[in-house]
Structure 1
Amino acid sequence: MSSSVQDGRVTKHKSSSRRSSARRMSQSNQENKEQKKTQPLPLIERTNALPIEQFRSTYAPTISETFKLKNPTEEAEDSSIPDQTKELDYMLDLYTAKTIPSADFEACFGLIELTSSNAYDGSSVGWSPSKKRKEMKLPDMKYLIARRGSRSEGKDESEPAGGAILGFLSFMVTYEDGKEVIYCYEIHLSPEARGMGLGRQLMLTCENVGRHVGLEKTMLTVFKSNTKAVRFYERCGFEIDEYSPQPRRLRNGTVKEPDYLILSKMLDNDDPWETD
């Protein structure tokens, strides 16, 4: 028998009770697993789980389109002669940290080193090539690569069109202070690509990706010493974020100013950017 009478009470054997409890726990764990399978992932995790081809078609559907920018010609170096410009074709490629070609990755790192290593050296952060490379390879990092030229008709848009990298913007769809944001990690242009509007094109593309995903705002970090970059972001509509670090008063009474700013821009703001 599976039970016995003790002092007028009917009790079950402990071994039977333990087996029943184990079965209930196993059944509960299985139900929890099944429930988790049916629940959709949160927006950030769901977005970052997409293959790059699906991410591109869903959130950056126009990225493969060629765009034109006006380039000053050699004859137009005299600024008193207006409209002596010619338009050239440009295009963007989109990669993840895993899919970016190694040559493109090294070119992007080279641009950071060329344009920003001195700013890092003069900051509290310091310049560390190994740390920067590690950050650049974070799994959810994505890259917008700018090149001159147009994609050949019928060419797979996931393949680079060739040619030197003129600039890039790296970004991540992520959480920041509990908010769903698109965070611009880096934006750098080669010297010959400055002043033609390529930086604006990269930033606009990044913002549009954020809007397509349904994120709240764009965020970035900039060194205070990089006044040119600060002015560029201000023209793009960025403002100092509420979570930007504040001055700290040390024990000896000295006030320590942070050497960087956190800027942000709400993505529901459709006001046009200021003109130069």
Structure 2
Amino acid sequence: MRSPRSRSRPECRNGRSTRWCTVRTERRISTVERDGLVFDVLDEGPLDGEPIVLLHGWPDRPTTWREVTPILNAAGYRTLAKDRRGFAPGARPRRRRDYRLPELAADVATLIDEVGGSAHVVGHDWGAATAWAVAGLHPDHVRTLTAVSVAHPAVFMESMLRSNQLLKSWYMALFNLPVLPELLVRTLPEWFDRQLVKGGMRPEDVARFRHEIIEEGALASSLGCYRAVLLTDPRVTRFRVSAPTTMVWSTDDVALGRWGAEHSEEWVDGPFELVVLDGVSHWIPTEDPEALADAILARVAR
């Protein structure tokens, strides 16, 4: 059941336009609905704080932000960690085309509408790809963008030809095969879990993946974002971003190369900063939440 629509009123400061006003919301948001799909939301921090929308990747859920949100909340920001399409129990459509990038971005824009029409947007992994799309396709909804690990979609595609990204992305081809990935995860759990650990995921987070995705029945639907890649018109990804942007990348990321991180600036018209975390794996939100929170706060404070 959808939570009651929050009543909110803009509080403008320093003569800023209504679009950039802080929004005071009287009620927490636990779910948001779009086109019959219901997404769960973890709404934390001061209700009158500027909203920061947090988008997780694969194979994560909103709990991946559990060590980041307390830092953002303590700094006075309201955080809304949204369960993504394919993961949320009420948002698991069957068709591959329902997971195309514009659909993922529109889901987020709907949540932002619930908190006043604009927010700071942060995404990791597939959440970062989605965050880029929100900033490019719904620019009025995004105050600032912090993309973690994944480059601008157009740059990511170009990096396949300009760097070693194609080799790093071998698993994307695997995930596009029907049935086989699900069988591997279920019938060879030790092998699959070992791949995650080799990539830097902590054992406790592997256990969380087993519980939050496999046991809760989200494995096949969560792969929808990968299986819709070939159905997405490449021209859709060639959007420019006007929001002030920070790109966070880590040197021990086994899935994403540096080339994409360094060239994302070419698609950003606003201020851009690249933050490189040395010795950190792909799983930045859980491995180095303090450094990530610092990067987010530095961006939104500007």
Identify the TM-score tier after normalising by the shorter chain: under 0.3
Compute the TM-score of the two structures, normalised by the length of structure 2.
0.24
| Higher gyration radius (CA) | 1
Name the TM-score, length of structure 1 as normaliser: 0.26
More strand by share: 1
Question: Taking CA–CA contacts closer than 8 Å with sequence separation of 6 or more, which of the two structures ends up with the larger relative contact order?
Answer: 2
Name the one with the larger helix percent: 2
